[in-house]
Structure 1
């Protein structure tokens, strides 16, 4: 698919489609006359999204998939090809978990491994598995869901920040590698979105409560973010930084890196979250 309607009439795979932004992507793609594979580690929520699409007259199936496993993503690709009768032409690498509330050196290393295995390796697995066929066909698109955390580098969010920064870097690399091939790449970098990501087991309870309160006041709906991202992908945009606060931080980090880091450090001292025990 080429041109300005890359997200219409697609054969799309969406990971993390059981809730939040992933669910919003799946529903919007179905409304754009797409057929959608709704993948999620929770087969029940994936099934609910697929059922909602079918109730609205669309076509969808649910596939259970743990994106941290390369074998599971290979299985997802096989299931998608079997149902579509062809290769997918749009992949939304959305699945992820939240993590935060601890400074570097505090807490178990297993938190780092889990965060990166899902948030970064999940996107790597999706790109590695689905992109070769798109490159060969000279058509298609990939949308990777990162976060403004990937460039804001807020204190007490190191594992999450690193995982999302990796997704941004991967997407930038792909944009260079795929230039001129007919395959588009877009990376989404939002701040607060009204989803359940702040309820993850790797987020300190106090920090999670604050994030939910802020999100409830200034956060965008997942439907709005998904729609903005799909429209941007149609326009060939690499970066989607949807909220005004994210764009302010984006420019501050780029043009005033030293003052930005010092300000972030001062602000971090007042952020809630677990403090080091030693």
Structure 2
């Protein structure tokens, strides 16, 4: 946190991907409350426009832009639209767009699922950093928030594609923190567990897994509004990692202190968990 004393979220020129719902929408609204102008990007333009209405209701101004973050050219177009609307580069980029995936073990997860998950969850963040960072570095100020997940270090069974995508986002963020040291541009990576959003209804999540995860999130999940607020506060304080929930912090500690035991316990729990009801064709590969 050394060297960061000035908040970047207050009055920011911000762009949020995946702003049409969930954590992305919560980021946009929280930023509006902090006086930021917000470009609300989403693959669903109608949802992005709904978020802009909420941004305006919170007392700020917003712009809806349709963007599929899996495509480099589309993200480059988003950057250009932001520069035009802000009359300069944004001072805060939140790479939030992502999808859920899970329900099969490695070897039984369709390769198409791997490709789509990585293209959106990982390449979407890569595209955002690639296209937005140069101007921010040249300006010598600003911030990047990349949304990962505790799955990136928990590495739970039957979630390989999702786990790998989020671990990649974590590694990218850590690399950026080193490369951007001393430039005036800060980096934060968000790693939550259960958040009450619609991510569990994704088409790449097994139905049994989706229902169980959604029920757990309803009971113990944190609200997206609180996650957004904690993340932006952490970013202003110069924190690299924001791990908002106690269970995520416990998993983080367990993984680092006893990695082999962590993997074994995770495998055993997966055999009895309610979201593991669908067996792979060959059966016992857990």
What do the CA deviations read for 1:183-202 (whole angstroms, capped 9, x no partner)?
00000000000000000000
Give the structure 2 partner of residue 207 of structure 1. 209
Q: For residues 70-219 of structure 1, what are the structure 2 equivalents within 5 Å?
A: 70-219=72-221
Counterpart CA distance in 2 for 1:5 and 1:125 is 25
| Matches of 1:47 and 1:144, distance apart in 2 | 22
What SS does the corresponding residue of 2:177 show, helix, strand or coil?
helix
**SS of equivalent residue, structure 1 residue 63:** strand
Partner Cα separation in structure 1 for residue 229 and residue 109 of structure 2: 37
Give the counterpart of 1:250 among 245, 249, 252: 252
- The question of whether the paired residues in 1 share the 8 Å contact of 2:76 and 2:131 is answered with yes
CA distance in 1, matches of 2:59, 2:136: 28
- RMSD after superposition: 0.9
- Aligned equivalent of 2:280: 276
Native 8 Å contact 1:50 1:60 kept in 2: yes
Measure, in 2, the Cα distance between the counterparts of 1:111 and 1:179: 36
Residues 103 and 275 of structure 1 are in contact (CA less than 8 Å); yes or no, is this contact kept in structure 2? no
Shift of 1:275: 2.2
1:167-194 Cα distance to aligned partner (Å, 9 max, x none):
0000000000001111000000000000
Paired positions, count: 277
1:3 is displaced (CA, Å) by: 2.7
How far apart are 1:208 and its partner, in Å?
Answer: 0.6
Unaligned runs of 5+ in 1: none
Q: What secondary structure sits across from 1:185 in the alignment? A: strand
1:57 CA displacement: 2.4
How far off its partner does 1:107 sit? Answer: 3.5
Does the 8 A contact of 2:141 with 2:185 survive in 1? yes
* d(CA) in 1 for partners of 2:110, 2:242: 33
User: Matched residue of 1:102: which SS?
Assistant: coil
Deviation at 1:55, TM superposition (A): 2.7
Cα distance in 2 between the residues matched to 1:163 and 1:270 = 25
Give the SS at the match of 2:93.
strand
The alpha carbon displacement at 1:84 in A equals 0.6
Match of 1:236 in 2: 238
TM (norm. structure 2) is: 0.95
